[in-house]
Structures are given as C-alpha cells and as structure tokens.
Structure 1
C-alpha cells in the first residue's frame, strides 16, 4: 500500500507540476502553409484575429512550451501572435505570470509583415543570472530577461561568457541581415531538427536561435536595459 501511495503521489506531482497549452478560444481558422510564427507588430491593423492559446503551469523548458504553442497556432492557421494580459477586477492589465498566460493568435498577410533588422538580442536562461561580454563590455542578465544591442552593419561582434572555459561567438552582420538572436545557457541544449523548436547554432553555452522561437522569448521575457 505504501508503494501504491508513493507512486500516486509522484504521478500527482507530475500532473499538477506539468505545463500544458490549450486552445481556449477559436474565432475562425485560416488555410495557409506558413512555417513561421512571428510576434505581431502593434501597428499592423490588417491582422486577422483567430483565437487564443493559454499556457497553464510553470516550466523551465521554454523551447518545449514554444513547440506546443506553435502546434496550437498552426491548428487554426496562425502565423503571428502577441501576449494578451489577463485583467484585474478593475480592468487594468495584470503583470506577466510565467505560470499562466494567454497568447492571442493571428493571421497576418506576408506583405504586411514588417522587416526588423539591426538589433542583436541576447537572452538569458530561465534559471540563473548570466554574465556575458559583448565587444569588451560586461553585462549581467537576470533569469528570463534579454538584452538588445543596436548593431552596425559590417562591424564584428564578439559575444563571450564570463567563464574560465566559456564560449565565444563572433558575428559580422550585413546591411540586409535580419535581427540576430542568441541565448546564453549553463545547460546542455540539444539542437532541434524539426524547424519548429528554434535551435540552429550552438557553441558551448551560446546558442543561436531561430527567429520564431526568439520572438516568442522576447514576448515572455523581460527586456533588460543596459
């Protein structure tokens, strides 16, 4: 009986500690084959509202959560999204809660998508403070935060972790390049080959991120002002 009680307790912990993503509202669906899921620009007025997905429960694995959100978005044909805050009783928006939040899903015509370039994004991990150096300038990023640095086309940017055996990445963006996205992590991250998870470049504890996943992180992480 004790073993049965122990197994039941473990299952309950796993059940209630797991993070799930649900489609909580579907207004309409779109038939499209877009593989991307970008953050909606607030200035865009031609986006078609499709519905909402809700994330319930806290998880440190944001890549896995993004994969679930992506799957729900594609079920109704969404290619853009935005974080939609819950409201307090008086109608004011609540602060972001990583254990429970809503994502509004849209379809935006490709010709209406704005090209965002000229910025270097550096994301911290979801757990620990991260010390990094960008072109000989030191920064410390809090968990679940990110840093934006304006880049100059043609200039070399050296990103390194502040560790004895840390990693270093050098990039030289061109004038026509999109934003550059990297995440600093003390954890071992496996590359994703599905084209959904968003991990496509890794050097030790510096990981280059695919745009869709990076824009998801920029919506649920807090921007850190240098």
Structure 2
C-alpha cells in the first residue's frame, strides 16, 4: 500500500510538471523547406496565417518544449510565430502565464522580414539567478529573464560570468551584425547535432544560441530593465 502511494505521488508530480504542446488550429498549410522559425511583430501584415499552437503545463526544459513547438510548426509549413495573448471577459490582455500560452503560426517570405537592430541578448538560466559583468559593471539576472544590450558600433564589450572558472567573451559589434544571443549558466546545456529547432552553438556557461530558439525564449522569459 505504501509503495502504491509513493508511485501515485511520483506520477502526480510528473503530471504537474509536464508541459504539453498541442497544434490546436490549422487554417491552412504551406509547402516550404525553411528551417527557421522566427518571431514576428510588425511583419504580420505581410505574413500568411497558418494555425495556432497551445502550450499547457510548466517545464524548466525550454529547449525540449521549443523542439516540440518547432516540429509541430513545421508540420504545417510555418516559419514564423507570434504570441497570442489570452483575454479577460472585458477584453483586456491577461499577463503572460508560462504554464499556459498560445502562439500564432505563419509563413512569411524571407524578404519581408525586417532588418535586425544588432542588439546583444543575454538570457539567464531557467532556474538559477545569474550574476554577470558587462565591461566591469555587474548585473544580476533573475531566473527566466533576459537583458538586451544595445551596443555602440565598434566599441568592445567584455561579458563575464564572474566565476573562478567562468567564461568571458569579447564582442565588437559592427554595422553589418544582426542580433546576437547568449545564455549564461553554470550548467552546461545539451546541444542538438541536427542543426535545427532550438539549438546551442557550443557548450559552457556562456552559450551562443540559435536565433529561432532565442526568439522563443524572448517570449516566455521576462525582460530585465535597468533602473536609472
């Protein structure tokens, strides 16, 4: 009887921590071989709406969740997404809930994507606070948050995890650079050798992120705003 209770408890915990991804609406499909899945905002006017995904439940394994979203998006030929907020009874927008959210799926021609701004995105891990240094100025990122650094062209930026055996990177953005994305964590993130769907470019505690996955994180994480 005791073992049955333990098994039932473990099953309940796993259920409560599970995150399910559902393709809840398919308006139409598009035949394309794009491997990208980018976030769009103003470009929606030039995009073709394909369907909707709903995510239910919470998980700290954001890479696995994005992989599921990516696969379902590709089933209908999507190469772009946007957040579809839930509304209250009076029509106002509900705050984002990481345990339940929806994404609209689109196809958009590559030439309709807007030019990037050349910013540097720094993401904390999903479960740990992260202290970092940017040109010797300290910054503390809460779990599931990110900071957008808007660099000056040709200026060198030294970003460090401020640990004895931590990582340091030096960046010198130029006018031709698009956005750059990094996750900072003391825990190594497993990479995927397939080259698609939320993939890290290297292992370590400063990890370069693939654009599609990083733009997904920018929706489900909260942006850190520096106080003046």
1:114, 1:170 → 2: CA distance? 27
CA contact (8 A) 1:118 1:152 kept: no
Partner of 2:35: 35
CA contact (8 A) 1:19 1:56 kept: yes
Partner of 1:208: 208
1:40-119 equivalences under 5 Å are 40-119=40-119
1:141 aligns with 2:141: yes
Partner of 1:199: 200
Deviations 1:128-187 (A, max 9, x none): 221111112211111111111112333322110122322111223332121111111122
Partner of 2:183: 183
1:220 CA drift (Å):
1.4
Partner of 2:150: 150
Aligned with 1:45: secondary structure? Answer: helix
The 10-residue stretch of structure 1 (190-199 or 92-101) with the greater mean CA deviation from structure 2: 190-199
With normalisation by structure 2, the TM-score equals: 0.92
1:158, 1:145 → 2: CA distance? 20
RMSD: 1.5
Aligned residues: 225
CA contact (8 A) 2:43 2:112 kept: no
Please, which runs of 5 or more residues in structure 2 have no aligned partner? none
Aligned with 1:215: secondary structure? Answer: helix
1:212 CA drift (Å):
0.5
1:43 CA drift (Å):
4.4
Change (3 A) 1:225 1:181: same
1:10-29 equivalences under 5 Å are 10-29=10-29
With normalisation by structure 1, the TM-score equals: 0.93
CA contact (8 A) 1:83 1:220 kept: no
Aligned with 2:117: secondary structure? Answer: coil
CA contact (8 A) 1:80 1:108 kept: yes
The 10-residue stretch of structure 1 (32-41 or 136-145) with the greater mean CA deviation from structure 2: 136-145
The 10-residue stretch of structure 1 (20-29 or 187-196) with the greater mean CA deviation from structure 2: 187-196
Please, which runs of 5 or more residues in structure 1 have no aligned partner? none
The 10-residue stretch of structure 1 (10-19 or 143-152) with the greater mean CA deviation from structure 2: 10-19
Identify, as 1 or 2, the structure richer in strand. 1
1:21 CA drift (Å):
0.4
CA contact (8 A) 1:122 1:182 kept: yes
Aligned with 2:45: secondary structure? Answer: coil
2:112, 2:150 → 1: CA distance? 24
1:168 aligns with 2:160: no
The list of structure 1 runs, each at least 4 consecutive aligned residues, that deviate by more than 4 angstroms after superposition, is none
1:91 CA drift (Å):
1.2
